Structure 1
């Protein structure tokens, strides 16, 4: 038995999946770039004793990790909603 969601049951599900996939890819790329930049700034500012910049960079790093986690959870949320939509 092959178990797979029926994406044909929801009108425009293929378009929705393509749009959300593109947006989540964009968010993940920006989050990874922000993570790299914030980690570098945190390291440099900590080494030079600029603790105010280090604190802001550390906050940016945590925000970037949170954004990446939320973008990853967005895929599961979209799949859940499409699955619910086929049952209505």
Structure 2
């Protein structure tokens, strides 16, 4: 740790900030990430449907293990859908935290 004028310097800012236009292919990378996010959302819709069917089948057939597994799958799929849908906003929120001036 470095000490300057009696104050403890805990962090060093190297001065590197994200910027567009630094490398070629950024537009293609954005399109690829958007497509991967779309495929993930489509897969989560399928997982949610299958989990809900397993939950209903387990409930109506008396299969307590199938019912519990269906419930767990439904909650996990719903959480994944929430995270995939909010991914861009989450990254934007946390990346902006470092740029706030006190």
TM range (shorter): 0.7 to 0.9
- Mapping for residues 4-83 of structure 1, pairs under 5 Å: 8-9=20-21, 11=23, 12-77=25-90, 80=92
Question: Could you list the runs of 5+ residues in structure 1 that have no partner in the other structure?
Answer: 1-6
In the TM superposition, what is the alpha-carbon distance from 1:67 to its structure 2 partner? 0.7
Q: Larger % of helix: which?
A: 1
Map of 2:6 onto structure 1: none
Q: CA RMSD in A?
A: 2.5
Distance (whole Å) between structure 1 residues aligned to residue 83 and residue 22 of structure 2: 24
Scaled by the length of structure 2, the TM-score of the pair is: 0.64
Deviations 1:45-70 (A, max 9, x none): 10011011100111001110011111
Greater relative contact order (Cα < 8 A, sep 6+): 1
Scaled by the length of structure 1, the TM-score of the pair is: 0.73
Q: Larger % of strand: which?
A: 2
- Structure 1: which 4+ aligned runs deviate by more than 6 Å? none
Question: Could you list the runs of 5+ residues in structure 2 that have no partner in the other structure?
Answer: 1-18
